[in-house]
Structure 1
Amino acid sequence: MIRAAQKAELEKTLWRTANELRGHVDGWDFKAYVLGMLFYRFISENLTHYINAGEWEAGATDFDYAKISDEQAMTIRDGIVEAKGFFMPPSHLFENVWGCAAGKGTALGMKDPEATEFREQQLNLFIKEVFNAIEESAIGTKSEDDIKGLFEDIDVSSTRLGNSVPQRNKKLFELLETIGSLSLGTFEDSTIDMFGDAYEYLMGLYAADAGKSGGEYFTPQEVSNLLARLTVVGKTSVNKVYDPACGSGSLLLQFAKVLGKDNVRMGFYGQELNRTTYNLARMNMFLHDINYAKFSIAHGDTLTEPQHQDEEPFQAIVSNPPYSTKWVGADDPTLINDSRFAPAGVLAPKTKADLAFVMHMLHWLATDGTAAIVEFPGVLYRGGAEKKIRQYLVDNNYVDTVIQLPPDLFFGTGIATCIIVLKKAKTDNDVLFIDASEKFRRNGNKNVLLDEHRHEIVELFSNREDVKYEAHRVSNETLAENDYNLTVSAYVEVEDTREKTNIVELNAEIAELVTNQMTLREEVEAIVAELEADRAEVGVANE
């Protein structure tokens, strides 16, 4: 209960202060500063705890890395970089920079400026120096690619923070104060979870606030969780997990929650085209305490410049690739000979790369692996090249399951998406269709998949049995006869929820109404006749 209450209060504080701080800066742009500062605090405290724990275990129970000199710290620099992937001297730690700017004592190893002068004139330059030093500490080491450019989106000299140096520094100091004041516990009582929760919560809110432009880089956690659970049914561990369009990394990180990060034995792999989101994904890995040696997030176009050829195949693949995005397609004649796309004999349309991602993932999927991919519904029924690719997938028995999701789950779009599950070593020759379109609860202006809904979907997926109105197995031959249409509604009967009418009872009611009507008519006619008779008598009397 304390954890839940602490999390709720944290979320409330985070969003309120993030909105107050950004001023006139667009929320999606300002996220780099808030998330970057949260990341800065995390790696400072995580590094301090790691070093302190080692000293305490050795008997130096009063040791505090944040209070030793930079010169002393340099003696363990190489070992720290080997273990954590980077190095920060004590003077660069978040708590010391914040303390100096707040006038609570200067950071060790720094000159002794007046707090006001430091805060107003030097803070942004010093923070830039700190970030540069973190990246430089990894140069020439195994972690260089994981650290390089990590802070490039946090421009502490940008006019977006203010038109003058004092204005910019005022905003940065407010950020330090806000992030530094957050109650996140200690590393012994789930601080890592709290940092990770805060980061994911903020990413979700920024994506919602940005609409489509943010939603394409962030998959709601409950959908991410469902995808991860679908790919590990029957498994307690996997070798590697992969997402070729990883966005902020939320899908990959669900495996750490579903299986435990140590049960992803050889690591987390992803690629992202957007440079800013690529940086956020790497931060997200660190914030969830995934060591640099256990993840590889690459930057670039997966379809034309795949970055993890030496690591495939992958036992679990999850993805929510961009819908109907453009790619070079047939304009590059070499792609039809690419081993990823060649088997289908046709390339995905230039204006709709959806199934190009599917072919890429299928090629990199391990024989005993599972891929779960969120798709725009059009890929299930459109003709042309997409139909030919579906034919290849069905005829070769790679399509395991198609799941229809509810509408309005994602940020920036209200469409009802679907999930295609692929396997290379199926034991049957049919496809399971699941209609989960009604498994949701309305929450504000979006629909959400509750844990009970996800459990029901995974149960249907695991049991692989026909369930009226919910699941139906269809042979590959039938799919071929139906022009390779993979739309769930074509195979799962929709329950008629209209009130059922008892014909016998209805006929009896009608007969009774007719009888009553006839009786009423006779009574009315009698009254009319009586009135006319009275009128006639009055007329005779008047004569």
Structure 2
Amino acid sequence: MVKQTNEAKSFMRDSQRYMSLPYNPALKERARALRRAGNLAEVLLWNQLKRKQLFGLDFDRQKIIGNYIVDFYCAEKAVVIEVDGSSHDDKAEYDAERDAFLMGLRLAVIHLRDGDVKRNLAGVMDFLRGHPALTTPLEETTPPFQGTPPRETTPPLRGTPPRETTPPLRGTPPREGNNSPPLEGVGGGSSFEGVEGGSPLALWYDQNPDDIAEFEKQMRRKVHYVIKPQHLWGSIAEMARTQNEELLRTLHEGFKYIEDESFASTFQGLFSEINLDSEKLGKKYSDRNAKLCTIITKIAEGLEQFSTNSDTLGDAYEYLIGQFASGSGKKAGEFYTPQQISSILSAIVTLDSQDPSTGKKKHLDSVLDFACGSGSLLLNVRHQLDSHGISKIYGQEKNITTYNLARMNMLLHGVKDSEFEIFHGDTLLNDWDMLREANPAKKPHFDAVVANPPFSYRWEPTEAIGEDVRFKNYGLAPKSAADFAFLLHGFHYLKPEGTMAIILPHGVLFRGGAEERIRRKLLTDGNIDTVIGLPANLFYSTGIPVCILVLKKCKKPDDVLFINASEHFEKGKRQNRLLPEHIDKIIDTYQFRKEEERYSRPVPMEEIETNDYNLNISRYISTAISEEEINLGAVNKELLALENKIVAATKKHNEFLKELGLPPLP
């Protein structure tokens, strides 16, 4: 091994010399053309590399090195990645010359086959994450080969697990043991089909028992979890395909391992709602095992047709939740906020709170959804700022099934266990110890709060709750509707410079009694920033129109912005829909505080006070279309002219009738 730093310096000199050759317009144009016409496999891989999914490394695409154009190049690691199609077999001599030239520059060359990238992108990324050329510091890389290099110029070191270096939970794992072996052709075209003893990772575990602890330590450092080889999807799918009698027991063991040991933080009860011993699967163990073999085999066959990267799998999970919600009627309100509405809330809370017109915040330390359901709203906020824009997301959910849905949703969207915390508990009782912190210096507060709590939820507030710091200065919401109780809970934990957006029924805008007193105090304290009225029948759980309240503890304008979007939607058979232009109009109006007739208006507090703090949108924005004023004189003149024409026509007609000897018209 070359350990002197002058080796790295020599590489840099050689590289700079060959990358600063005289300007070649034809080669430059060829590189640009390749970038524009890149095949599907290159585009899929580039989408991962440009988002720095490989240890945060920067890659160039269609890089000119000497007189050659390479697919992907990483200067920091001195690595070239080539995606080879079937046509490359006809260019073997050219490829060999190019690779020899690159190796002369001390560049490592990794070859991938486009079929593997298209079929199993997640597996290809896992292979790259475990490749020594990308994991070993530059000073410690192997010196260049002499002559024509092999297809994989940096062979795996002993003790480094082959290919499945990242046990894939964040995406469908490589298809181990099925008809299509994992990553067939990647890095040299090797196939593991038919290898005795199971998958490559399983073999490595068997052959390197002393290295397992260190390997798993590295895995937890890089991707925050470990899954044993026998619990990977490929192994499970192979057991199902071969009707293995141990499948059911292996699933039980796998679920328990994931709950207790896979992650640094335990995920107790993650699979508590899955009953593999249900008699619906069969009365006897053998019957249940056989049924699961059939089900899993069918799923594996279906998954072969789709991309297996983490984004696709997470989106598919989200889609299934949405489809389940659409067929669940009123129960859907317990766990799902339609994406179109989530987009509005998430866009609002990520804009600058003091001056939204300046655009999005660059970073949020924390986001809270205290009635998070399946977690789709939290993920939408995360998506607004990309995966590194939020330090940690927090959620709370009372329903145990929905709570587990939320945790799975986070993991399947690639959110590391250290980047989120979902608590199972009752929001109104505030039984989350973290939120009950008595020390003000340690009490958590959040940059953004979003929520879609259950509408008009009946609750039983006690005398002790009346003294709760969340409600003490405002009073308690009525037993018949806890809407303001949910609002005050979230508002209490909002940072002074934060933004809160919550979905509530229209009743909170105008109902009297205790709700009127709470509403009045929020208004006089200057905490209600915007009221947005949405169309009816947008939700799976109710057909009533709802509103979005935007609240801030500190806001600049001394008015309340009203947006009446109730008439801007596309009508559907079962549900109405907000189209992208409707969503953009709402967000744009909020961001720039626009005034538009029959749609939006900033209303001064004096006017709201004269309306007894009633926030009914129709009081401030009229949707009535004024009738066109009628000119009675002109209409009368027109009628007289018509009357004269009728008289003249009748007279002429009667003359014809007289000639014919027929009686005249009256």
TM-score, reference length from structure 2: 0.65
1:185 is matched with 307
Moved beyond 6 Å, runs of 4+: 44-48, 497-502, 523-535
In structure 2, the residue corresponding to 1:245 is in which secondary structure?
A: coil
Could you say if the C-alpha distance between residues 432 and 511 of structure 1 is closer, same or farther in structure 2, counting changes exceeding 3 Å? farther
Q: Does the C-alpha gap of structure 1 residues 363 and 63 become closer, same or farther in structure 2, counting only changes over 3 Å?
A: same
Deviation at 1:392, TM superposition (A): 1.0
Query: What corresponds to 1:99 in structure 2?
Result: 238
Distance 1:210 1:136 in 2: 32
Deviation of residue 125 (structure 1)? 2.6
Shift of 1:168: 3.3
Greater relative contact order (Cα < 8 A, sep 6+): 1
Residue of structure 2 equivalent to 1:194: 312
Partner of 1:16: none
CA-CA distance at 1:315 after TM superposition: 0.8
Of the three residues 416, 427, 444, the one matched with 1:312 is 444
Cα offsets for 1:414-444 (capped at 9, x unmatched): 2111100001111122100001112222355
Is 1:339 the counterpart of 2:469? The answer is yes
Cα distance change on mapping 1:384 and 1:60 into 2, 3 Å: farther
Q: Tell me, what secondary structure is at the counterpart of 2:448?
A: strand
Q: What residue identity is the alignment partner of 2:336?
A: F
Distance 1:334 1:303 in 2: 12
Residues 240 and 294 of structure 2 are in contact (CA less than 8 Å); yes or no, is this contact kept in structure 1? no
Which whole-Å CA distance do the structure 1 matches of 2:612 and 2:284 have between them? Answer: 64
Larger helix fraction of residues: 1
Aligned-partner residue type, residue 359 of structure 1? L
Return the TM-score normalized by structure 1.
0.79
**TM-fit CA distance, 1:498:** 7.2
CA RMSD of aligned residues (A): 3.1
Aligned residue number for residue 415 of structure 1: 544
Judge conservation of contact 2:336–2:373 (CA < 8 Å) in 1.
Answer: yes
SS in 1 for 2:551: strand
Structure 2 partner of 1:53 = 129
Residue 238, structure 1, aligned to residue 364, structure 2: yes
1:88 & 1:153 partners in 2: Cα distance? Answer: 21
Q: Which moved more, 1:302-311 or 1:423-432?
A: 302-311
Q: Distance in 2 between matches of 1:54 and 1:2?
A: 24
The 2-side partners of 1:129 and 1:176 are apart by 17
- Tell me whether 1:68 sits opposite 2:204 in the alignment: no
Identify the range of structure 1 (485-494 vs 522-531) with the bigger mean alpha-carbon deviation.
522-531
Q: Does 1:157 align with 2:277?
A: yes
Other structure's SS at 2:503 match = strand
1:327-356 deviation per Cα after TM superposition (whole angstroms, max 9, x unaligned): 222xx1111211111111x20011211110
Shift of residue 171, structure 1, vs aligned partner: 4.0
**Counterpart in 2 of 1:143?**
265
- The more displaced of 469-478 and 419-428 is 469-478
Count the aligned residue pairs: 469
CA distance in 2 between partners of 1:534 and 1:79 (Å): 111
Answer with 80-89 or 426-435: which moved more: 80-89
CA contact 1:86–1:143 (8 Å) conserved in 2: no
Q: Give the letter for the 2:466 counterpart.
A: I
Distance 1:513 1:328, change over 3 A: same
AA aligned opposite 1:406:
P
Q: 1:456 aligns with which of 562, 585, 589?
A: 585
In 1, Cα distance between equivalents of 2:382 and 2:613: 36
Cα separation, partners in 2 of 1:457 and 1:508, compared to 1, 3 Å? farther
Give the superposition deviation at 1:476. Answer: 1.9
Shift of 1:449: 1.8
Q: 1:232 to 1:497 in 2, by over 3 A?
A: farther
Mapped contact 2:528–2:560 kept (Cα < 8 A): yes
Distance 1:240 1:445 in 2: 36
After TM superposition, list the pairs within 5 Å mapping 1:263-278 onto structure 2: 263-264=389-390, 266-278=391-403
Q: Does 1:447 find its partner at 2:601?
A: no
Cα deviation for residue 49 of structure 1 reads 5.6
Say which is worse superposed, 411-420 or 277-286, in terms of deviation: 411-420
- 8 A contact 2:225–2:264 mirrored in 1: no
Corresponding residue of 2:453: 321
1:168 aligns with 2:288: yes
> How far 1:164 moved relative to its partner?
4.5
CA distance in 1, matches of 2:381, 2:327: 27
For residue 609 of structure 2, what is the aligned residue in structure 1? 480
Query: In the superposition, relative to structure 1, how do residues 497 and 52 fare at CA in structure 2: closer, same or farther (>3 Å)?
Result: farther
Q: Answer whether contact 1:85 1:143 (CA < 8 A) is retained.
A: no
The yes-or-no answer on 1:293 pairing with 2:394 is no
**Structure 1 Cα separation of the partners of residues 522 and 595 of structure 2:** 22
Residues 527 and 333 of structure 1: CA distance in aligned 2, closer, same or farther (over 3 Å): farther
2: CA distance, partners of 1:228 / 1:452: 16
Deviation at 1:321, TM superposition (A): 0.6
Question: Which structure: larger Rg?
Answer: 2
What runs of 5+ residues in structure 2 fail to find an aligned partner?
1-38, 45-119, 136-153, 165-198, 352-358, 438-442
Higher mean C-alpha displacement, 192-201 vs 523-532: 523-532
| Distance in 2 (alpha carbons) for counterparts of 1:320 and 1:354 | 10
Among 223, 233, 247, the alignment partner of 2:373 is 247
Given the alignment, which residue of 345, 369, 379 partners 1:227? Answer: 345
Mark the CA change 1:476 to 1:170 in structure 2 (over 3 Å): closer, same or farther. Answer: farther
Please state how far the C-alpha of 1:507 moved relative to its aligned partner: 4.2
Cα distance 1:135–1:391, how it changes in 2: closer, same or farther (>3 A)?
same
Are 1:255 and 1:261, in contact at CA under 8 Å, matched by a contact in 2?
no
CA distance in 1, matches of 2:378, 2:652: 79
